[in-house]
């Protein structure tokens, strides 16, 4: 999506319109709800729902007039990814920038869950997921949970997620570089949330350098696993510690993407998604969110290179969520 100043401008059929979109519509596309932005865009173009439906039909997209009514009134939300062609056709008919409406319905982290919490932080979560994570962390002695891991400053995080030919996540390898903010930290708690259909009881976590597994708690109802990683010694203030681990899980359904939740700012975050070459995604989008239920504040389409790898880099990321949303063909 292109933003210039306070309003969106668009190019259609190679020509730039004489005037930018109205401020109210531009603001709605930037930070509003899908139904509100759609209603304003329809009104701005002066189209009835019947005429809008006819324009869509000429583009080979058939959407019922009642469905359009539900969408603009907020009674229903376009289903992702099934409705993406219709939403993109709406952007064309309504002369909106590419993906202006798509990012308002794009894969939410309720579907593409925040698999790793760099630090538990209840303000970043919503609903039952937050309470479940807090419960698991409390069982591990992480009380108050909002302060756990707070003695470690994340300098560098590198996540590598591998997908199989069925679009499922198979493994997550994480390497972290942390600095002790004060004398004494000797462990780190990580939380993993599986994709829909995950068998959390079968998820395996394997440590490599710099840590070993301590206590572990699982919550089958939310596909959530909380694990204590022990350093075997207390770090001195200012000491740098490098550690890594891998989560192995191929039990979920097709993955809608991967996000890391960050309580504090992380100087450098790199996430790489490795796909099976016979099952490449249709689209990958780098996204930043302030909360797990918020619309993206940053959204950028990513290339998937010949080797089947998509990479997203975030500098000074957090607090919030950073990751990649995935759409399959």
pLDDT the model gives residue 3 = 32
CATH class given for the domain over 23-105: mainly alpha
225-242 pLDDT tens trace: 889 999 989 999 999 999
- Distance in angstroms (rounded) separating the CA atoms of residues 272 and 182: 31
21-34 pLDDT tens trace: 888 888 888 767 88
Mean pLDDT on 99-104: 83
| pTM, 2 dp | 0.63
CATH for 114-327, among 1.10.10, 2.30.110, 2.60.40, 2.60.120?
2.60.40
Mean predicted lDDT score pLDDT of the chain = 82
pLDDT the model gives residue 81 = 67
149-171 pLDDT tens trace: 888 999 999 999 999 999 999 99
Nearest by Cα to 292 from 161, 141, 179, 191: 191
In this predicted model, which residue has the larger pLDDT, 87 or 70? 87
The end-to-end CA distance of the chain, in Å, is 21
Taking only Cα atoms into account, the Rg of the chain, rounded to an integer number of angstroms, comes to 22
Are the C-beta atoms of 249 and 202 separated by less than 8 Å? yes
- pLDDT-based confidence at residue 130 (cuts at 50, 70, 90): low
- pLDDT-based confidence at residue 274 (cuts at 50, 70, 90): very high
187-202 pLDDT tens trace: 999 989 888 888 989 9
Mean pLDDT on 66-95: 84
- Distance in angstroms (rounded) separating the CA atoms of residues 147 and 182: 14
Q: Is the pLDDT of residue 82 over 70?
A: yes
Domain ranges across the chain: 23-105, 114-327
- pLDDT-based confidence at residue 141 (cuts at 50, 70, 90): confident
Can 23-105 and 114-327 be said to share one CATH topology? no
In this predicted model, which residue has the larger pLDDT, 113 or 266? 266
In this predicted model, which residue has the larger pLDDT, 141 or 289? 289
């Amino acid at each position: 999506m292109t933003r210039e100043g306070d309003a969106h401008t668009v190019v259609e059929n190679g020509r730039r319109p004489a005037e930018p979109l109205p401020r109210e519509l531009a603001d709605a596309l930037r930070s509003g709800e899908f139904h509100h932005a759609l209603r304003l865009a329809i009104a701005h173009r002066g189209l009835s729902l019947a005429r809008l439906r006819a324009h869509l039909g000429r583009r080979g997209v058939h959407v019922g007039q009642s469905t359009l009514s539900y969408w603009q009134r907020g009674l229903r939300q376009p289903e992702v990814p099934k409705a993406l062609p219709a939403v993109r056709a709406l952007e064309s008919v309504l002369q909106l920038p590419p993906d202006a409406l798509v990012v308002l319905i794009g894969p939410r982290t309720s579907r593409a869950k925040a698999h790793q919490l760099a630090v538990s932080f209840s303000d970043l979560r919503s609903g039952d997921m937050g309470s479940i994570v807090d419960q698991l962390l409390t069982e591990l002695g992480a009380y108050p949970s909002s302060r756990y891991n707070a003695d470690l400053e994340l300098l560098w995080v590198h996540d590598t997620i591998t997908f199989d030919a069925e679009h499922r996540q198979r493994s997550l390898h994480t390497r972290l570089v942390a600095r002790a903010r004060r004398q004494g930290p000797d462990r780190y708690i990580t939380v993993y949330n599986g994709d829909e259909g995950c068998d959390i009881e079968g998820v395996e976590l394997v440590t490599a350098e710099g840590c070993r597994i301590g206590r572990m708690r699982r919550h089958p109802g939310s596909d959530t696993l909380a694990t204590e990683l022990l350093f075997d010694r207390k770090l001195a203030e200012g000491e740098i510690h490098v550690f890594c681990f891998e989560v192995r899980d191929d039990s979920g359904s097709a993955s809608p993407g991967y996000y890391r939740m960050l309580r504090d700012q992380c100087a450098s975050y790199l996430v790489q998604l490795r796909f099976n070459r016979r099952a490449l995604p249709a689209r990958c989008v780098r996204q930043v969110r302030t909360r797990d239920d918020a619309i993206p504040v940053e959204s950028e389409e990513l290339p998937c290179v010949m080797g089947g790898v998509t990479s997203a880099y975030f500098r000074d990321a957090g607090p919030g969520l950073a990751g990649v949303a995935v759409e399959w063909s």
